[in-house]
């Protein structure tokens, strides 16, 4: 994933999170690097069991309050 914020200082630092709308199944199957935005598979996928996943993510700055 890639996001940018044109603010300065800490307000321009971005973290990546799974959206609160992401299912627990997705969170069990995948991990996300908070700073790099890399999504990785935790285990093996079984296409016959599940043929696709919808992964909603949020890019949030480190400002006060944080903005998405």
What pLDDT digit, counting tens, does each position of 29-53 carry? Answer: 999 999 999 999 998 888 898 888 8
In this prediction the pTM is 0.83
What burial letters (b/e) apply to 38-61, b meaning 16+ CB within 10 Å?
Answer: ebeeeeeeeeeeeeeeeeeeebbb
CA–CA gap between residue 16 and residue 68 (Å, rounded): 10
What pLDDT digit, counting tens, does each position of 1-25 carry? Answer: 999 888 888 889 999 999 999 999 9
Give Cα 63 distance to the centre of its chain: 18
Compute the Cα dihedral for 55, 59, 62, 66 and give only its sign. Answer: negative
């Amino acid at each position: 994933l890639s996001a940018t914020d044109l603010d300065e200082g800490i307000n321009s630092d971005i973290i990546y999170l799974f959206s609160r709308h992401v299912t627990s199944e997705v969170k069990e199957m995948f991990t996300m690097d908070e700073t790099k935005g890399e999504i990785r598979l935790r285990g093996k996928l079984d296409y016959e069991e599940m043929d696709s996943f919808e992964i909603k993510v949020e890019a949030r700055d480190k400002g006060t309050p944080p903005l998405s």
